[in-house]
A = this chain, B = another copy of it.
């Protein structure tokens, strides 16, 4: 486990909330997996270790961690997935046809964020977008 260094417990307490074994298990599961996880996968992984941990608790932990921005929640191809919030933002380009996703650093989003703040007084948090579209391969061998 490499995420102990990030001191999630400290961040949670600093905001007046509590670190609990249940929340720790959810964080452990997300850390072990590394990438995206559907809510159900998190439930399964957590119950691998603690079979009697209630499902509702996992769902609430995920919501809670998202609210604190320790975890990101993204809709990818009709499914909601969770992931540990990374230091540097990263994004996905999801193909509507084949469902495959490629990574994207999202560098160009900086300009958008600046503009939104200036023109709409809105501080956008663009940590983990999933943009829908059609990838190159599918554009040629049209499946839709």
The quantity of this chain's copies bound in the complex is 2
A131 to B123, Cβ gap below 8 A? no
A108 to B112: give the CA distance in the assembly, Å.
7
| A interface, CB within 8 angstroms of B | 63, 66-67, 73, 75, 78, 80, 93, 95-96, 102, 104, 108-109, 111-112, 115-116, 120-126, 129, 131-136, 139, 144
Q: A73-B78, A123-B139, A136-B121 are in contact. Are A131 and B104 (CB under 8 A)?
A: no
Closest beta carbon of chain B to A64's beta carbon, Å: 12
Grouping DSSP codes into helix (H, G, I), strand (E, B) and loop, the A interface class, with mixed when no group exceeds half, is mixed
A102 to B116, Cβ gap below 8 A? no
A134 to B139, Cβ gap below 8 A? no
